[in-house]
Structure 1
Amino acid sequence: MSEKKFPSPLVSVQWLAEQVERSDIVVLDASWFLPGVERDPEQEWLEKRIPGARFFDFDKKIAAPDTELPHMLPSSMLFSQACSELGIQSSDNIVVYDSQGLFSAPRVWWMFRAMGHQSVAVLDGGLPAWEEAGLPIDTDTPEQVAKTEYNSDFQPEWVIDADTLSTQLDALDTVVIDARPAARFYGTQPEPRKGVRSGHMPNAKSLPFSQLVKDGHFISVEQLVKRFDAVSDPEQRLVFSCGSGVTACVLALAAELAGRNKLTVYDGSWTEWGRVMKYPVVQ
Structure 2
Amino acid sequence: MSIPSRLLRTLIAAVAFTPAFVAAPPAAHAAGGSYFAGAYVSIYGSRDYHGYVPSTYRAGTPMPLLIALHGCTENDVGFDLLSGWSAEAERRGFIVVFPDQNNLVNPAGCWNWTLPTNLHRGWGEPAIIAGITNRMKSTYSVDPRRVYVTGVSAGGVMANIMAVTYPDLYASAAILAGCEYECDILQLRTPEQAGLDALAEMGSRARPVPVVIWQGTADVVVPPSTAYRIAGQWTTVGHVDSVADTVEYAQAPGGRTYRHLTYRTTSGQPLVEQYMIDGAGHAYPGGCSCSLYGDPAGPDATGISWDFFLAHPKP
TM tier, shorter chain?
Answer: 0.3 to 0.5
TM-score, scaled to structure 2: 0.30
Select the structure that is richer in strand. Answer: 2
Q: Which has the higher contact order (CA 8 A, sep 6+)?
A: 1
TM-score, scaled to structure 1: 0.32
